[in-house]
């Protein structure tokens, strides 16, 4: 059923881009918003006039700090209905040049941050709803990089691939015991945000990869202000989906993943075609490794009693 009631949203990474758009559009519709970000006093000062609650939050903080910050939002507004995991950054560099520390920083922000905030939110969401089924929506601002690897994008893609796997598992856990809580991954292509001028490039550490790194710098600069996707439109449609109105009107259920942007759709179709091609050619080899006479796939979890 469409949700016309006003909601309370907790949003990370609100200094610019999608996060800022969520704050502005939701406040214009009358929803309550908890806008968070690092160094919020200065970096989120431009959002104070919206009337949003501004909280300082680093998504890489320890779990206890994230729990306390989410509880602070509940104390202020009485509840939280929607969590938007938006904070993130892109680390560029060839695998051989990326250090473990580079990879870890990307994972800490883009993977552990959203998952830790999910842990902070789940007890509250589980306490809501009817018949013990919970209630709440957890939105993950993912990327086409969650299913499509890019040269010099290993750190970012690894974090987004990991997030997709964890959230897919989460969705099945929730479906088993708390079906009123819905996770949603937004797989976005390139949209009109500031991300392309905030790319983090590793120093030239291995001379062999210099041409690739230089090409990636040129590509990033060329993509800025030339993105096919309109961030205002994406956020507007995600809000409609969250409320069950507009583009979501008449849809039976929110899927786990929704792609946004023609570039993302194109890459997704390529990925599907590639995997189908592999399956067509190699399925007989794959099946040949089973024990003869095995009765089929492992059983699903037993139904809840």
Domain boundaries, given as residue ranges, for the chain? 8-287
Please tell me the predicted confidence (pLDDT) of residue 4.
65
Please tell me the predicted confidence (pLDDT) of residue 168.
97
Phi and psi, residue 280, nearest 5°: -60, -40
Tens digits of residue pLDDT in 237-280 = 999 999 999 999 988 788 999 999 999 999 999 999 999 999 99
Please tell me the predicted confidence (pLDDT) of residue 3.
52
The pairing of beta strand 53-56 with beta strand 136-141: unpaired
For 253: left if phi > 0, alpha if psi spans -120 to 50, otherwise beta; the answer is beta
* pLDDT confidence band for 224 (50 / 70 / 90): low
Which has the minimum average pLDDT: 171-180, 191-200, 236-245, 256-265? 191-200
The pairing of beta strand 200-201 with beta strand 91-92: parallel
Closest by CA to 111, choosing from 163, 35, 60, 172, is 163
| Angstrom distance (rounded) from CA 158 to CA 107 | 8
Kindly state the percentage of the chain with pLDDT values over 90: 78
Q: Which residues pair with 137 in a beta bridge?
A: 82, 182
Helix (H) or strand (E) holding 65, with range, is helix 63-77
Note the pTM of the prediction, 2 decimals.
0.93
What DSSP letter does each residue of 132-189 carry, written as one string?
T---EEEEEE--GGGTS--TTBHHHHHHHHHHHHHHHHHHHHHHHH-TTEEEEEEEE-
Which has the minimum average pLDDT: 65-74, 143-152, 173-182, 225-234? 225-234
Who contacts 34 (Cβ-Cβ below 8 Å, separation ≥6)? 8, 9, 10, 11, 52, 53, 55, 73, 76, 77, 80
Which has the minimum average pLDDT: 49-58, 145-154, 197-206, 278-287? 197-206
* pLDDT confidence band for 22 (50 / 70 / 90): very high
**Active centre residues (catalytic):** 156
Is the pLDDT at 2 greater than 70? The verdict is: no
Contact 144, 187 (CB under 8 A): yes
Count other Cβ atoms within 10 Å, centred on residue 298. Answer: 4
Tens digits of residue pLDDT in 97-117 = 999 999 999 999 999 999 999
Mean pLDDT of the chain: 92
Please tell me the predicted confidence (pLDDT) of residue 216.
85
Please tell me the predicted confidence (pLDDT) of residue 101.
96
Average pLDDT over residues 33-60: 96
Yes or no: is domain 8-287 CATH 3.40.50.720? yes
| Angstrom distance (rounded) from CA 59 to CA 65 | 9
Please tell me the predicted confidence (pLDDT) of residue 305.
53
* pLDDT confidence band for 1 (50 / 70 / 90): very low
């Amino acid at each position: 059923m469409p949700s016309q009631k006003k909601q309370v949203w907790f949003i990370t990474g609100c200094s610019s881009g999608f996060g800022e758009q969520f704050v502005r559009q939701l406040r214009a519709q009358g929803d309550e918003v908890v806008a968070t970000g690092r160094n919020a006093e200065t970096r989120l000062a431009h959002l104070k006039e919206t009337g949003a609650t501004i909280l300082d939050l680093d998504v890489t903080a320890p779990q206890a700090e994230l729990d306390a910050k989410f509880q602070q939002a509940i104390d202020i507004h009485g509840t939280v209905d929607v969590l938007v995991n938006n904070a993130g950054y892109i680390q560029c560099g060839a695998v051989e040049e990326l250090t473990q520390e580079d990879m870890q920083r990307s994972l800490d922000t883009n993977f552990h941050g959203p998952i830790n905030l999910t842990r902070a939110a789940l007890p509250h969401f589980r306490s809501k709803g009817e018949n013990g089924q919970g209630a709440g929506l957890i939105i993950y601002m993912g990327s086409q990089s969650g299913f499509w690897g890019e040269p010099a994008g290993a750190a970012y893609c690894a974090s987004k691939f990991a997030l997709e796997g964890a959230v897919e598992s989460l969705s099945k856990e929730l479906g088993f015991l708390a079906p009123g809580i819905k996770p949603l991954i937004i797989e976005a292509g390139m949209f009109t945000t500031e991300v392309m001028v905030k790319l983090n490039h590793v120093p030239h550490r291995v001379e062999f990869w210099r041409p690739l790194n230089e090409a990636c710098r040129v590509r990033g600069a060329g993509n800025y202000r030339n993105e096919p996707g309109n961030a205002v439109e994406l956020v507007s449609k995600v809000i409609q989906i969250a409320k069950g109105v507009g583009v979501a009107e008449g849809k039976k259920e929110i899927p786990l993943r929704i792609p946004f942007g023609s570039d993302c759709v194109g890459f997704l179709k390529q990925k599907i075609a590639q995997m189908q091609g592999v399956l067509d050619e190699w399925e007989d080899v794959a099946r040949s490794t089973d024990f003869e006479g095995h009765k089929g796939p492992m059983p699903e979890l037993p139904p809840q009693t």
